[in-house]
């Protein structure tokens, strides 16, 4: 599909904020689910973009910056793949192709991230010089420049994809054979499972496993909506906090008490 001028501007604005949020991390615009949803909202293709964002979000769960190791660029992957999905005009059937393009785009985004952070090193020296002069406005100015560079890191590639137009993008997607699309969908599902397993491995504790199993059982009940599941989750969290507080205040019983009653019950079971 083709986008009008206002939609193009809004997509670039979303891309700009997604790039900045990769550093600021305040409103989570760089998260795949949020970025893809916003692009779907401004382009009128909300449902396919939400599906794309949800699958990319599960993949990105296992991406994290550890020390000097920089994770693949989830913001660029989300924005670029969502734009390609919209321009391709394939709707839900184009999600697998968009996911297949998102992973190499995320890796390629590492080059842009490295470039921007290298340039930011020079900006730090300019800020030091402004601080030596006692210029607070100079410090603020160069800080804004550095943050804006992060936004341009995503906005410029987004603008280039939009400049290519819907025709070439659609032709490129149509060139992908059906068997390759199916294989890419299976591979994307495997990557999702790996990312989710990494997160579970990091947060798995004796206290969390019962809730994890309970959530899977409740998800199989067809009459429970997402709102109902969310309400149950909040209720369980409140019950857990209440038990934890009551357990920590009940140290006179002589029973081993760590302040975590659910954990104590599991350990004694």
Per-residue H/E/C for the chain: CCCCHHHHHHHHHHHHHHHHHHHHCCCCCCCHHHHHHHHHHHHCCHHHHHHHHHHHHHHHCCCCCECCECCCCHHHHHHHHHHHHHHHCCHHHHHHHHHHHHHHHHHHHHHHHHHHHHHHHHHHHHHHHHHHCCCHHHHHHHHHHHHHHHHHHHHHHHHHHHHHCHHHHHHHHHCCCHHHHHHHHHHHHHHHHHHHHHHHHHHCCCCCHHHHHHHHHHHCCCCCCHHHHHHHHHHHHHHHHHHHHHHHCCCCCCCCCCCCHHHHHHHHC
Chain segment 234-257, per-residue pLDDT in tens: 998 888 888 777 766 555 555 555
| pLDDT at residue 268 tops 70 | no
Query: What share of the chain in percent tops pLDDT 90?
Result: 29
Mean pLDDT of 73-84: 90
Chain segment 145-181, per-residue pLDDT in tens: 999 999 999 999 999 999 887 677 667 666 767 777 6
Query: Which band of pLDDT confidence, cut at 50, 70 and 90, is reported for residue 188?
Result: low
Query: Which band of pLDDT confidence, cut at 50, 70 and 90, is reported for residue 18?
Result: very high
Chain segment 38-48, per-residue pLDDT in tens: 999 999 999 99
| pLDDT at residue 194 tops 70 | no
Task: Record the pTM.
Answer: 0.68
pLDDT at residue 247 in the model: 62
Which of residues 151 and 95 earns the better pLDDT score? 151
């Amino acid at each position: 599909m083709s986008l009008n001028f206002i939609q193009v501007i809004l997509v670039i604005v979303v891309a700009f904020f997604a790039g900045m949020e990769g550093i600021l991390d305040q409103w989570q615009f760089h998260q795949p689910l949020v970025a893809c949803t916003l692009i779907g909202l401004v382009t009128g293709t909300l449902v396919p973009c939400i599906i794309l964002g949800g699958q990319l979000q599960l993949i990105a769960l296992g991406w994290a910056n550890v020390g000097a190791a920089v994770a693949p660029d989830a913001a660029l992957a989300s924005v670029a793949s969502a734009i390609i999905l919209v321009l391709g005009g394939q709707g839900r059937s184009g999600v697998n192709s968009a996911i297949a393009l998102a992973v190499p785009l995320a890796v390629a985004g590492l080059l842009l991230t490295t470039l921007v952070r290298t340039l930011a090193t020079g900006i730090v020296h300019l800020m030091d010089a402004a601080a030596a002069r006692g210029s607070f406005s100079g410090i603020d100015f160069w800080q804004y420049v550095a943050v804006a560079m992060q936004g341009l890191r995503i906005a410029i590639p987004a603008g280039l994809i939009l400049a290519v137009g819907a025709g070439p993008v659609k032709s490129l997607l149509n060139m992908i054979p059906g068997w390759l699309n199916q294989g890419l969908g299976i591979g994307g599902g495997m990557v999702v499972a790996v990312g989710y397993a990494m997160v579970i491995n990091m947060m798995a504790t004796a206290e969390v496993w019962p809730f994890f199993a309970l959530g899977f059982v409740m998800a199989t009940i067809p009459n429970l909506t997402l709102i109902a599941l969310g309400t149950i989750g909040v209720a369980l969290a409140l019950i857990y906090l209440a038990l934890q507080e009551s357990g920590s205040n009940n140290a006179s019983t002589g029973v081993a008490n760590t302040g975590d009653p659910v954990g104590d019950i599991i350990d004694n079971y």
